[in-house]
């Protein structure tokens, strides 16, 4: 595989750098930096989304004919890397990177025309209704029921851990449409409007003091049959396609490397009892160097998979490998950050947001203030999108053929 960029790619990289330099204002950079989670609040993401949409660089996972930017895989990688290095906010994943590609692939022309432009414009904000209290890793056991009555589905049941459901006006849900069929075959993929009496949302505040996730209840909620994606009973196939995008559709290495670079900078400034600044602490710097090497190796694997995708091969179960590695690297970076800040890294502010005028006063600097919220929030990396153990089982069975 050729790892060097072509002359055109280098020109594109300059264009991206100039664009980011021009458009990423202080508020956006600050909001992205001071969010201890991958889920940036809509007050920040909406602004950034509008800027990217105007430029036509928003929905990098969508085909060009559906509104994607038409990047080559290398351009996509360059774009993600430059955004990460510049500290751009993460975009709303659930619409742009999860349900959007599903509608592009499985939606009817009418569904595409109805939903895709509203995802791009930010008019619709989506959440994901997969997990239930008794169906997480064993997702196919889900019980939320959708019964067809005339031209509507009536939905009853509940979903849990629904990220940003309190901001969303639509939910894409896996529902059981045929209770008599075999587990996977009775499931359908349904879009349900949130703004109706039959849908209610209850907050779940996590160990990190963040309100990101919720429980969502359906009590005779209604949705039109026009909002079924694919056929009845095709939900499991669609769910798996979406999960592959969730696990490996985005490039993770650029943001991991950008994080490591930030930690290396902190080490130069953070005082150490050993020898001046933390970057003289040999044990810590060895750990950091090992992490950088592992992440650079991961980047090469990610680039290899990207080049396979460019040849038209599907993402497939190898995305589990990417999800597993990226999640564990991210947690290791968060841990070393805490270790570096020592006592100052142990603060856990109760109020949010941690940016803007309302932000609580930090002890020992903003970076130190973010270390613990980020570490705690980051425990979820090895759970959402399928836990580590689930990824390892997929790798064993479907990648290694064990
Ligand atoms: C912050 C956060 C955000 C989330 N956002 C969403 C969202 O927006 N929408 C959504 O639908 N879901 C969301 N989830 C849910 C997430 O997908 C589930 O938490 C995850 O799939 C695990 O399911 P569970 O919590 O029911 O745990 P369980 O399935 O009960 O697992 C508990 C433990 O048992 C292990 N385990 C289970 N089965 C096996 C097995 N067969 N072999 C080995 N080990 C096993 C698991 O690895 C885990 O360690 C979110 C979760 C978190 C933490």
The full DSSP string for 149-199 is ETTEEEEEEEEES-TTTTT-SEEEEEEES-TTS-GGGGEEEEEEESSSTTE
Alpha carbon of 217 to ligand 1 centroid (Å): 19
Structure tokens at 31: 């909001």
pLDDT at 249: 66
Q: pLDDT tier at 251 (50, 70, 90 boundaries)?
A: confident
Residue 1 in this model has a pLDDT that exceeds 70: no
Which run of H or E residues covers position 108?
A: none
pLDDT at 304: 82
Residue 285 in this model has a pLDDT that exceeds 60: yes
pLDDT at 199: 98
Distance CA 338, CA 248 (A): 27
Segment 339-394, tens digit of pLDDT: 999 999 999 999 999 999 889 999 989 999 999 999 999 999 999 989 999 999 99
Residue 2 in this model has a pLDDT that exceeds 70: no
Q: Give me the mean pLDDT over the 274-301 stretch.
A: 91
Poorest-pLDDT segment among 176-185, 212-221, 236-245, 260-269 = 236-245
pLDDT at 132: 98
* Residues lining ligand 1, Cβ inside 6 A: 127-131, 136-137, 161-163, 213, 380, 383-384, 386-387, 389-390, 393
Distance CA 207, CA 203 (A): 13
Q: Give the atom of ligand 1 at the shortest distance from the alpha carbon of 134.
A: 26
276 burial level (CB within 10 Å; 0-12, 13-18, 19+): exposed
Cα separations in angstroms, 156 against 25, 204, 237, 259, 334: 44, 21, 22, 42, 39
Q: Is residue 246 annotated as part of the catalytic site, yes or no?
A: yes
* Model pTM score: 0.94
pLDDT > 90 in the chain, percent: 82
Q: Give the atom of ligand 1 at the shortest distance from the alpha carbon of 377.
A: 1
Residue-range domains of the chain with CATH: 7-91 (1.10.540.10), 125-233 (2.40.110.10), 251-399 (1.20.140.10)
Contact 150, 193 (CB under 8 A): no
Q: Which residue has its alpha carbon closest to ligand 1 atom 13?
A: 161
Residue 315 in this model has a pLDDT that exceeds 90: no
Poorest-pLDDT segment among 31-35, 57-61, 62-66, 240-244 = 240-244
Alpha carbon of 139 to ligand 1 centroid (Å): 9
Q: Give the atom of ligand 1 at the shortest distance from the alpha carbon of 129.
A: 11
Catalytic residue (one of 246, 259, 299, 367): 246
pLDDT > 70 in the chain, percent: 98
Distance CA 178, CA 187 (A): 7
Poorest-pLDDT segment among 11-20, 71-80, 158-167, 332-341 = 71-80
Tokens 């613990």 locate to 372
Alpha carbon of 133 to ligand 1 centroid (Å): 10
Structure tokens at 15: 């264009």
Q: pLDDT tier at 41 (50, 70, 90 boundaries)?
A: very high
Structure tokens at 311: 């040849």
- Specify the higher pLDDT residue, 4 or 281: 281
Q: Give me the mean pLDDT over the 88-97 stretch.
A: 95
Segment 44-70, tens digit of pLDDT: 999 999 999 999 999 998 999 999 999
pLDDT at 359: 92
Q: Could you tell me how many residues make up the chain?
A: 402
* Beta carbons within 10 angstroms of residue 112's beta carbon: 16
Segment 13-26, tens digit of pLDDT: 999 999 999 999 99
Distance CA 67, CA 184 (A): 32
Which run of H or E residues covers position 8?
A: helix 7-23
Nearest to 160 by CA among 384, 354, 388, 360: 384
Poorest-pLDDT segment among 56-60, 115-119, 160-164, 353-357 = 353-357
């Amino acid at each position: 595989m050729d790892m060097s960029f072509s002359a055109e790619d280098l020109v594109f990289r300059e264009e991206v750098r100039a664009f980011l330099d021009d458009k990423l204002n202080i508020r956006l950079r600050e909001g992205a930096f001071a969010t201890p989670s991958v889920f940036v609040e809509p007050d920040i993401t909406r602004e950034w989304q509008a800027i990217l949409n105007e430029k036509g660089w928003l929905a990098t996972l969508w085909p060009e004919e559906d509104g994607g930017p038409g990047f080559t895989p290398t351009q996509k990688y360059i774009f993600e890397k430059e955004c990460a290095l510049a500290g751009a906010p993460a975009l709303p994943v659930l619409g742009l990177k999860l349900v959007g590609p599903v509608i592009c692939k499985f939606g009817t022309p009418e569904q595409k025309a109805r939903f895709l432009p509203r995802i791009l414009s930010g008019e619709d904000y989506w959440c994901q209704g997969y997990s239930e209290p008794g169906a997480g890793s064993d997702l196919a056991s889900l019980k939320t029921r959708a019964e067809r009555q005339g031209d509507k589905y009536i939905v009853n049941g509940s979903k849990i851990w629904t990220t940003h459901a309190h901001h969303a006006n639509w939910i894409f849900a896996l529902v059981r449409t045929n209770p008599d069929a075999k587990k996977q075959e009775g499931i359908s993929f349904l879009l349900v409007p949130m703004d109706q009496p039959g849908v209610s949302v209850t907050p779940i505040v996590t160990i990190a003091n963040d309100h990101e996730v919720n429980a969502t209840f359906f009590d005779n909620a209604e949705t039109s049959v026009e909002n079924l994606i694919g056929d009845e009973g095709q939900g499991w196939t669609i769910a798996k396609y979406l999960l592959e995008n969730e696990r490996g559709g985005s490039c993770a290495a650029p943001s991991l490397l950008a994080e490591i670079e930030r930690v290396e900078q902190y080490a130069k400034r953070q005082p150490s009892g050993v020898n001046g600044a933390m970057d003289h602490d040999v044990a810590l710097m060895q750990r950091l160097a090992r992490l950088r090497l592992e992440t650079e190796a991961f980047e090469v694997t990610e680039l290899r998979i990207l080049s396979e995708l460019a040849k038209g091969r599907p993402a497939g179960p190898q995305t589990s490998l990417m999800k597993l590695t990226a999640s564990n690297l991210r947690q290791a970076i968060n841990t070393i950050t805490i270790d570096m800040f020592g006592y100052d890294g142990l603060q856990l502010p109760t109020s949010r947001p941690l940016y803007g005028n309302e932000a609580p006063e930090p002890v020992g600097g903003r970076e130190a203030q973010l270390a613990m919220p980020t570490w705690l929030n980051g425990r979820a990396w090895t759970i959402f999108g399928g836990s580590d153990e689930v990824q390892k089982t997929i790798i064993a069975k479907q990648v290694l053929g064990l």
